[in-house]
Each structure stands twice: as C-alpha cells, then as structure tokens.
Amino acid sequence: MDENAGGKVYCFHETDAVRYGVHAAILLFHIRWWVAKNEANGKHQHDGRTWTYNSRKAFAELFPFLSVDQIRRAMERLVDDGVLVKGNYNKSAYDRTMWYALTVGTAIGQKCQMERAKKPNQTGEKAEPIPDNEPDTITNPLSDIGKSDGVGDPKADGFGLETPDSNTTEFDRAVAATLLDAVRTMPPRKTGLTKARPSTWANHIRLLRTRDAIPEDDIRRAVSWYRGNIGKEYVPEAYSGAAFRKKFPAIEAAAGRDLTTVTISSEAQKIGDKLSILPWPKGSADTVDAAVELGLTAYRDWCKARDAFALAMRDGQTITPKQRLALSLADHLKAVMPPPGFFVKQWMETVYERARNWPDWSGDLRPLAFKPEADAFRKMGRQWAIDYTGDPTRWDVLVDMMNKGVS
C-alpha cells in the first residue's frame, strides 16, 4: 500500500481470503465486526442469533471497489459454505435489506493494523473496519435504529431519520423540493410542518430509489401527480419525505385510479390481444388494454406536437440556427420514429419484462404506460439524435423548444 495514500483502510483475514476469496473475506470481516458490536449492545437479537443488515446496493456504496454482482457472488459463497445465514426481519414489505448472522463465532481479532504510518513518527495505528459512529450500512435500515447505531432516534412512523449526506443525487433533491413545495401549499395546522430539512427529505427519496428499488420514472410520476392532487379526498396524506416513502404504494395506486375511465379503441384491443400471450403477473392482464390505449394516446400526442413545432418553424419568417437544427431533427424523427401501434407494443413488452421481475409491484399496468417524460423515451430520443447528428443534446433542445411553444 502507498504510504501517502489517503482514504479508508479495508481489512480482512488471510485465512478467510484463502478459503473464500478476497471479496468474501472483506465482507465477512465487516459482518463479524457488526455482529460483535450488536451482540455487545444487545441489539438485533432474533431466533437465538445476533444479526446485522445490509442490501447489496448499500454494500456497493460502502465498498466502492466491489460491484453489486461481485458482492452478490461473495455473499452467496459465504452462505453456501455455511459461514453465514440469511434472514429477513424488516417491518416493511418494500424494504429489501438482507439480514445476516454468523453460524459460528463472532469477532475474531477484529482490529486491523493499518499499513499506512502516521506522519512524523511513522508509528502504526489501529483502525476498525467501520468507524464507531457509522451504522451497519452507509444507509440506515427501516427499523431497529437506535443510538448505538450512531444515528438519531427513529421517526415515529418507523422510518429511520438519516444524517443528510452527499449520497443524495440531483434527482433526489429535486423530487424532495417538489414534494416540500406541495406540502407547503397545505395549512400548517393540517400538515404539522413548521420547519423542514430538505436534505433529510432528499435522503428518504434516495432510500425509495435505492433501498426500495423504485424506478425514477415512477417516483417522478407519483410526486407530479401528488403535487396536483394533494389535499383532495381519498388522496393519501404524506406530509414528509418519510411519509411519502412509506405511503408510496398507496399514492401510486391512487394515481392509477385516476386512469380508470379509459375508453379502449379497436387498435388498442388488437395490440392487447397480441400481448395477451404473455403470462402477465399479479392479474395485470386486465389492465393491458388500458395501458396500451394510454400509451397510444400519449405517443400520438407527442408526434402531433413534434409536427406542430415543425410547421410553426416553417411558417416563421426567420428562425435562428438553433431552431433550424431542431427543425431538421424533427423532420428526421418524423421519418424514422415507428408508428404508434408498433412502438406501444414494444413498450409494453419491455414493461412485461420489468413487471415479472418486480416482486413489490402493485399489479396495475396503467401507471407504466408510455409517457413522453419517461427516462426510457429520452434515452431513445437521444440515440435517434446521435444517429442523425452525432450529438445527443439535440434531442433535449428539440423537446425543450416543443414544451415551451418556441419563441
């Protein structure tokens, strides 16, 4: 190791590395340390064992040099070899955090001699795998969070209040800001909101995205719908980031109920008949036709907006070079974008692949119908722009001009 290198020190036992591989040895060292700490604190005692918790994504954040697949294989090796046992003691069905316990032993010499020396006197110092003030994982689990984990008291609704950190993304912060703005439109006496920490709200959005594995598209649609419907009858009350995360399935279901009055066209029925050969999970086959109809309508509307933009550009006396480039791309898209029926059928086939591997999905396909604001459509558009111009941002410019009505 470079003596001048900075950053964290990661430890493992040589015998574990020889027996199970270096990746597994690193993870095992971490688990042993936390099991020992939890045992000493009398925490996480279930079925005669002491447990610690982590999701694979959280492990990947904690050990950035390991991929999720490497972590999965390493943990499976430790379980298959009888070193660890797996459990699930989460209070929420949406929480995919995995719990682990040792089959034999707890901490065996869990102090790590750092190879990096101190500055002037070059004396070694001891380091533990995770500092005492950090929880079992970089992100806290949903339940059983206490002072000894190094975080504050749990929220009343059972969702841990995490210390705001730099792990939140721009998406998390933007969604949290939108949600907070919506809640602030309600009377404070109803919401109980006196002051709020946007960074804490953003942490709950991050957990919804990473821990609960809710796609960004779904979060974006849900918060957009909630902003327009907050305070209405039968709309779930979610006046904090934690409450929004906890009630997300109910909010998504409520948004889906707004789509119940969909008139199915003959084209949508024909496409639905073709899609009916797929074994749609959770009884969702009943909503295929409605999702197809919604997708057809949205796709046609977007294409109409594209053509209206092109017409407006041609009718204008003068257009800027930027507008001319956008017009050129719009004309190209009219020629290369697939017809509505073909596009929506492919979209729904992709939805099927996602739905059948989504254990916590509600079973309603309508919220998953094609929408122009979906990230997947933006990726398609940027690829079309690359194929035509070599510049993916041309798509973003075109869409921005279409949305603004162009001036």
DSSP-based helix, strand, coil % in the chain, nearest 5: 55, 5, 40
pLDDT higher than 50, residue 6: yes
pLDDT at residue 181, as a whole number: 86
Cα–Cα distances in angstroms (integers) from residue 155 to residues 5, 99, 145, 302, in the given order: 39, 21, 9, 43
For the chain, counts of helices (H) and of strands (E): 16, 7
- According to the model, what pLDDT value does residue 166 have? 53
Write out pLDDT tens, residues 240-251. Answer: 888 899 888 888
- Helix, coil or strand: residue 33: helix
Q: Is residue 137's pLDDT more than 90? A: no
For residue 132, the model assigns a pLDDT of 31
The model's pLDDT over 97-133, given as tens digits with 9 standing for 90+, comes to 778 888 754 444 445 543 333 333 333 323 333 333 3
Q: Which helix H or strand E contains 38, and what residues bound it?
A: helix 22-41
- What is the C-alpha separation between 86 and 82, in angstroms, rounded? 10
The tens digit of pLDDT for each residue in 241-281 reads 888 998 888 888 777 665 556 788 999 999 999 998 999 88
List the alpha helices (DSSP H) in 234-357: 241-246, 248-257, 266-275, 288-315, 321-336, 340-356
d(CA 362, CA 111): 46
pTM for the predicted model, two decimal places:
0.42
Angle (nearest 5°) at CA 71 between 65 and 73: 135
Give the pLDDT of residue 142: 27
Q: Which of 143, 243, 142, 147 is nearest to 196 (CA)?
A: 243
What dihedral do alpha carbons 247, 252, 258, 263 form, nearest 10°? -160
pLDDT at res. 109: 46
Nearest CA among 206, 407, 220, 380 for reference residue 312: 407
In words, the CATH class of domain 14-128 is: mainly alpha
Domain ranges of the chain: 14-128, 170-257, 266-404
Q: What is the pLDDT of residue 360?
A: 66
